[in-house]
């Protein structure tokens, strides 16, 4: 099996070491190679910081890709497109008084355009967490979830909550298309019970989906997992989960990638 290749977007913010620590732990869970993406010019000082930081967590050799672009997000997306990583990891900007973790323009562009599975972390932690919980978010009548199973197995959460968004419109649409209302959700629950016995399903009726945001915030899972689609070279979230472009309550895994093609604006500088 080919070795997985993960990338972490690194900026020299106060949460720099926390983001690196989270990325390191995730790469170790998957026995993946870990590289750094930095949207900025190469310098000896930065190289020394990266070398010391990764040396502290037991990684002596880490590739650093120096990215350039019109914007920070464009530089990172182009690099991810050129190198074709399996997972892109980034921290999101947090504000002390922002209880909902609202996203900014950079994060929204990363959600929409990063051409690989993506992990966004609103509150990175240096120390590892134990007894973690996960929340799998799906549409009740057309759930997409299989891409998340391998990650759930690697995370090995003590509890998995399945939030299934529903609405009268979605039910009518499923009836017209002949989709099975119950079997798919039951299949998810049965399949994921091999990971943990504590699997629950909650069907949430909502016309806009924002009620799901409040529910997730109250649940406070360690990880949220969402499978998406790609259309016109952009990520398309499930209908009731579009609010994730505006608010990220906890660590967010986005699964789904476009067909592999090297469409970046030039390979980033490695070294």
Q: What is the DSSP string of 219-242?
A: H--SEEEEE-EEETTEEE--GGGG
153 and 100 in one domain? no
100 and 148 in one domain? no
Cα–Cα distance, 208 to 241 (Å, whole number): 9
Walk along the chain (271 residues) and give the pLDDT tens digit of each residue: 689 999 999 999 999 999 999 999 999 999 999 999 999 999 999 999 999 999 999 998 899 999 998 999 999 999 999 999 999 999 986 554 444 556 888 999 999 999 999 999 999 999 999 999 999 999 888 788 889 999 999 999 999 999 998 876 665 655 555 554 445 788 899 999 999 999 999 999 877 778 888 999 999 999 999 999 999 889 999 888 889 999 999 999 999 888 765 545 566 777 6
- Residue 7: helix, strand or coil by DSSP? strand
- Residue 182: helix, strand or coil by DSSP? coil
85 and 15 in one domain? yes
| pLDDT value for 181 | 43
157 and 105 in one domain? no
Across the strands, what pairs with 254?
Answer: 118, 226
Cα pseudo-dihedral 146, 152, 154, 157, rounded to 10: -160
- How crowded is residue 161: how many other Cβ atoms within 10 Å of its Cβ? 20
The reported pTM is: 0.90
- Contact assessment for residue 21 and residue 58, using Cβ atoms and an 8 Å cutoff: no
Cα–Cα distance, 119 to 7 (Å, whole number): 10
CATH number of the domain enclosing 48: 3.40.50.620
158 and 91 in one domain? no
- Residue 109: helix, strand or coil by DSSP? helix
Structurally, the chain folds into a number of domains equal to 2
- Contact assessment for residue 135 and residue 152, using Cβ atoms and an 8 Å cutoff: no
- Residue 248: helix, strand or coil by DSSP? coil
**Secondary structure element (H or E) that encloses residue 212, with its range:** helix 210-219
Q: What is the CA radius of gyration of the chain?
A: 19
| pLDDT value for 196 | 97
95 and 34 in one domain? yes
| pLDDT value for 170 | 61
137 and 112 in one domain? no
116 and 187 in one domain? no
| pLDDT value for 206 | 78
94 and 154 in one domain? no
Q: Return the sign of the alpha-carbon dihedral for residues 9, 10, 11, 14.
A: positive
| pLDDT value for 180 | 46
Tokens matching residue 164? 């299934």
| pLDDT value for 118 | 97
Domain span holding position 182: 133-255
163 and 117 in one domain? no
- Residue 79: helix, strand or coil by DSSP? helix
């Amino acid at each position: 099996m080919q070795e997985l290749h993960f990338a972490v977007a690194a900026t020299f913010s106060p949460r720099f070491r926390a983001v690196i620590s989270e990325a390191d732990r995730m790469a170790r869970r998957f026995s993946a190679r870990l590289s750094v993406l930095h949207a900025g010019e190469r310098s000896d000082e930065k190289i020394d910081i990266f070398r010391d930081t990764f040396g502290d967590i037991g990684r002596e050799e880490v590739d650093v890709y120096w990215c350039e672009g019109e914007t920070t997000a464009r530089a990172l997306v182009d690099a991810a497109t050129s190198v074709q990583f399996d997972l892109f990891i980034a921290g999101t900007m947090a504000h002390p008084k922002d209880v909902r973790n609202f996203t900014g323009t950079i994060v929204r562009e990363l959600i929409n355009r990063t051409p690989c599975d993506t992990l966004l972390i609103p509150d990175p932690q240096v120390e590892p967490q134990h007894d973690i919980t996960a929340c799998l978010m799906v549409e009740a009548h057309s759930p997409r979830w299989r891409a998340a199973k391998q990650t759930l197995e690697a995370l090995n959460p003590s509890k998995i909550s399945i939030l299934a968004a529903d609405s009268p419109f979605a039910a009518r649409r499923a009836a017209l298309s002949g989709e099975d209302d119950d079997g798919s959700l039951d299949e998810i629950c049965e399949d994921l019970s091999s990971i943990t016995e504590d699997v629950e399903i909650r069907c949430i009726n909502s016309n806009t989906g924002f009620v799901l945001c409040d529910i997730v915030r109250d649940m406070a899972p360690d990880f949220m997992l969402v499978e998406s689609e790609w259309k016109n070279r952009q990520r398309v979230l499930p209908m009731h989960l579009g609010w994730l472009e505006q608010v990220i309550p906890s660590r967010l895994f986005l699964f789904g990638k476009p067909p592999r093609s090297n469409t970046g604006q030039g390979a980033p500088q490695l070294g």
